[in-house]
Amino acid sequence: MMNIRSLYGLGCFFASLAFVTSVSAAEPTKIGFVYVGPVADAGWTYEHDRGRLAVEKEHGDKVETVFVESVSEGPDAERVISQMAADGANMIFTTSFGYMNPTIKVAKQFPNVKFE
């Protein structure tokens, strides 16, 4: 059973999808996730990945999701976020408070990408 915080997070995620537009109707919205830990950690990152998988299940071929796990906070995060944006992500979720400054910095370089 999902807890309230998980449901709230998924609700925010799905609501934010309404603001993402694809370049072409045939082209899926590419959504990136940057995880602070491994997907198999059965905690914070695991729950975020469950949300990612739910998006894939709900939206099918309308979305493409990508993720990078075990990204340390700081310069490595900036590199990963920047590369994800350069690789065509329309929206990027950075899932750690420690990613805030790198996310803000990269967002200035990619104004057409939505960052959460």
Domains for the chain: give ranges and CATH numbers: 4-115 (3.40.50.2300)
Contact 70, 38 (CB under 8 A): yes
pLDDT tens-digit map of 9-37: 555 555 555 545 444 567 999 999 999 99
Distances 12 to 8, 24, 51, 54, 75 between C-alpha atoms, Å: 6, 24, 11, 13, 27
pTM (global) more than 0.85: no
What is the average pLDDT score of the chain?
87
